[in-house]
Structures are given as structure tokens and as C-alpha cells.
Structure 1
């Protein structure tokens, strides 16, 4: 099944160097839970920007420049294959203060895998991220296509909070930056976690849309925050 078809279906039904945390230890310290979070931190007009399928130069680098100019911190959901190909971009993401998220090794449908296979996949992905940025905290995990299967509990056991979204701007078939920006305006609700993409293809239109809407949101009193720490 193609990646585009899986995404559409998901939208319709809307370690060397890697630290693992047992469920009891995580809960004892207020750590991750298996509950998928889709809500931004704070109250009122808050929103979280999250970006999937990177790192992907040059689009990720352009996006980082837009976020830096506007003093916005976001979550980057990294695919292991892309991390391995572009570790220097992962280092840039982390160095600029953004939050890292494990988005699986190959962007597979994890609901089709056994728990042992999911654990191996997430662990290897985290290992690749830590090879690029040994000091980084991988705060979240997001299942490709929103096909969670048994991955939320496994991610929590590995110290990562499962991260969902309120809406996806459907930028995997780029319709133009103006259309994408309008989708953000039309679908935005207080507390929303927004799913966008900086990887998986040419995402220059997504970056341009983000550059359009951030000043507008700020002018309207919106605050751009990170997602909740735990479910």
C-alpha cells in the first residue's frame, strides 16, 4: 500500500547510547504514558507546530530559518533513514532548541508488526538520533500514518510520549503555499497540535505557508507552544 494512500486512510479515521525507561520508573517520575497526546501546552489560544518525515535538506534548513526568525520552537518527528543520511541537520534542529520525536526507522505501518519488532524499530531509530546528538532528549514518538497498533505502550516504556495531532494540513500532495496556509487558518482550534511535513518530498510550500501564518497568529493573540508532556 502506498504511503499516500495510508496517509489518506489515517486522516480519514482521524541501543547503544539510548536510554530506556521501564513503565514503573516512568510513572514514578511523572514520565510518559500510553495515552496519545494531541493538545498543546497552556490555556486559551495555544497551538503546537510539528513536522514529520525529516530531516530533509534544504527544506528542513529553510524551515529552521523561518522558525528562528519568528522565535518559534517546534517538534521534529524524525525518520531513522533520514537521520542516518543527514545527521548534521539533526544536530542543527537540536542546537536550535527544538524538540525531537521518534517517527520510526523506515516509516512503516507499525500496526502490522509484532511488539518485539516495534521495540526493535523504535530502539534503532533512537540510537541513530543519539549517534547524531548524544545529549538530546527524544521526548515523543509518533506512529507513521497514525497506525498505532501496540506502539503507544512500547514508546512509553522506552521513555517517549506518544504524540498525535488535531489536524493534518495534507501537504503530502502540495496544492500551493496559499492553500496550505488557508487550511491552517480554517482548521485551527485552541490547543491544537498541527501535523505538517518537512520531509517525504518537496516541502518548500509547507515552509512558505508556515512563514505566512506565524505572524498572523501572533497578531491575533495565539501562542505557539509545545505539546503536552504526557497523556
Structure 2
């Protein structure tokens, strides 16, 4: 991407001090997302789920559970395409289609954020803003799509998290069992070190 982004991409959390936000992309997945929701409920952590429209249409009941559990929704495009070179009109059509898919699952869903697939933003931040969506980036990505093993993911999370960080994780797009297991282990470790979990900061 070239040029300056004219609309803010949020990558920090609300609140001060040792706070972090967990965000999950590419779901919902029929196996790993329910397990992750169990983990988050057990630890009483709210997160952001950036949903792919195709997956929403395939698994609407999981989207309903995400909302029922009190988590925040994000638009992650309809088919997880690279939008970096798309026109604003094409981006807007895709985002609207994805929002419509989410609202077929949850008619009154509040969709607060948009995250560009692959972090390839192009002109999407301005388009997202025109549709009432806040563009959501991240401060820490642990590359859990590799996947490198649960122990390594735990290490990357503990070593990489910084105060105010939005953390990029995945609950879909492949076998994410290592991510779910790592989150289950990391939350109590961070809490014991006086970390709190919150939502992303709103852009000014």
C-alpha cells in the first residue's frame, strides 16, 4: 500500500496500564470457535471476532453464540480476498455483503470494526469509515497461522504483549487448536501479572 491512510486504524486498547485486547480472525469455525468461546467464558474475557462472510453463512449458529456471550463483532470481508488494489466501490459492496451475512445470522447485530484481510488496507479505511466501521489493526501478531506449537504461541504472547496492545489471533482458516490452547494458558498467567483485558480504543 502506498500513500497515507486518511482514516485512523485502531491498534490500541481502551484503558491505561497493563491492558490488552484479544481479537480473532477468519471464523467462525465449527470446531475451534466453540472451544475458544468456552475458554473465554471460563476466564470471563471479552474479545473481538472479525468474521468472514462465507463462514458466517455456513455457521450462523456460532455467530449467535458469539453475540450471546457478549463479544464484539468485526467485518473481515466476505471471502477473505486481498483488497489492497480494489476500488472504493468494490470494497463497499464487499463490506455491505459481509454486514448483511452477519445480520442474517443476528438481525440486530452491532458490527463495530473492519479488519482488512492480510492487513492489506488499500482504500478500505475510508470506505469502512463511510459505512460506520472502525478499522482495526494490531500491535502484536504471533503468526499463529503457521502453527508453531502451543508452547511457542504461549511464549510469543507473553514475550510480545505490551501495554495497550491489540493482539491478532485466529479462530478460523485452518486448525486453530494450538491458538485456543495457548489462550487458555496465557489468560491466567497475564492476570497473575496484573493484566486486564478490554476492547479496542475508539478512533478520535
- TM-score relative to the length of structure 2: 0.96
What corresponds to 2:151 in structure 1? 178
**Consecutive unaligned residues in structure 1, runs of 5 or more:** 1-9, 11-32
What SS class does the counterpart of residue 227 from structure 1 fall into? coil
Query: Given the alignment, which residue of 152, 155, 175 partners 1:202?
Result: 175
- Quick one: distance in 1 between partners of 2:141 and 2:101? 27
List structure 1 runs of 4+ shifted beyond 3 angstroms. none
Shift of 1:198: 0.1
What corresponds to 1:136 in structure 2? 109
**Consecutive unaligned residues in structure 2, runs of 5 or more:** none
Deviations 1:39-79 (A, max 9, x none): 01100000000000000011000000000000000000000
Matched, 1:154 2:131: no
- Quick one: distance in 2 between partners of 1:80 and 1:34? 24
Aligned length: 200
Matched, 1:98 2:71: yes
Shift of 1:230: 2.1
Matched, 1:189 2:137: no
- The alignment's C-alpha RMSD in Å is 1.1
Shift of 1:185: 0.7
Matched, 1:70 2:43: yes
- Quick one: distance in 1 between partners of 2:193 and 2:163? 12
- TM-score relative to the length of structure 1: 0.85
